[in-house]
Amino acid sequence: MTIAAIAVQHAEDERRERHIKILHLLDQTRGIEHILLNLPVLFQTPALRLCLIGALKRIWQTIIQLERSEKHRYKLDELTALESVEPSDIPLSANNITYFSDRNSAMQARAMIRESVQILAQLHQAQQVQQTTAYALAMDLKRGFKRCSVDITLLEALEQTEDHGPRVALHKFRGALMVLKRLNKDHSLSQQMMNIRQLIAKLETEAQALAQVNVEKKNRG
């Protein structure tokens, strides 16, 4: 093989290797972007967003080093602008005991949290995120996972109450309240807990009234 042919082959091998690296990096960006687009804002803490956007920027900078393109630079500029954007969350209303309106939404949120934890692990393995940062963010997400599970329990309890009366699901409401109490270290769940307490008090009153009616019916019979 001539020197020219060797040089051509070497250049082709480098091009192919560079292309494979770019494809791998683009796959990483898609995973992170999926989280930023689909993880409920409720669980997108400033620290998590900063971490994910920072990782995305570093990946795109590497892509630009491998393949200079205006399209890639534009993507990097978009991410720089995104860093200053704080997503607005819809607060829990005064009467709601859950953040999610139905079980499917809460279950989808749990699935997204699982994916987010996996993405953090992958970013740590790729040395894009430090272990301590990945661990702390994963712990926050796991707290969010428990919150979703509580919402699912509460939504099921509401259905049971509607179908079978005020007493049947009281234990579920109380159990959910205990879990939230353990999770409420930053007091962000206080409104939800107050709403649940008010509902429990209301259901207990209804259950007592219903029991009294049943006793009176029995006595008359």
Q: Which of 105, 103, 111 is nearest to 156 (CA)?
A: 103
Note the pLDDT of residue 5. Answer: 62
pTM attached to this predicted model: 0.87
The pLDDT assigned to 8 comes to 60
Q: Which of 55, 56, 33 is nearest to 130 (CA)?
A: 55
In a domain, 55, yes or no: yes
- pLDDT number for residue 11: 62
Range of the domain at 20: 10-84+95-212
- List CB contacts of 96: < 8 A, sequence separation 6 or more: 192, 195
The tens place of each residue's pLDDT in the chain, 221 residues long, gives 677 666 566 667 677 888 899 999 999 999 999 999 999 999 999 999 999 999 999 999 999 999 888 988 989 899 988 888 887 776 777 789 999 999 999 999 999 999 999 999 999 999 999 999 999 999 999 999 999 999 999 999 999 999 999 999 999 999 999 999 999 999 999 999 999 999 999 999 999 988 887 777 777 76
Predicted confidence at residue 213, as pLDDT, reads 78
Q: What is the DSSP string of 198-218?
A: HHHHHHHHHHHHHHHHHHHHH
In-domain check, residue 217: no
**Is residue 220 one of the residues assigned to a domain?**
no
CA distances from 221 to 22, 208, 210, 214, 217 (A): 82, 20, 16, 10, 6
* Angstrom distances, CA of residue 153 to CA of 100, 126, 150, 158, 200: 11, 37, 5, 9, 14
Is 3 inside any structural domain? Answer: no
Domain count, the chain: 1
Q: What is the residue type of 207? A: A
Instruction: Compute the distance between CA of residue 92 and CA of residue 94 in angstroms, rounded to an integer.
Output: 7
pLDDT at 215: 74
Take residue 201 and report the two structure tokens written for it. Answer: 């008090």
Let me know if residue 194 belongs to a domain: yes
Structural domain contains residue 68? yes
pLDDT at 16: 84
Determine contact, residues 89/109, Cβ cutoff 8 Å.
no
pLDDT of residue 174: 98
The predicted pLDDT at position 93 comes to: 72
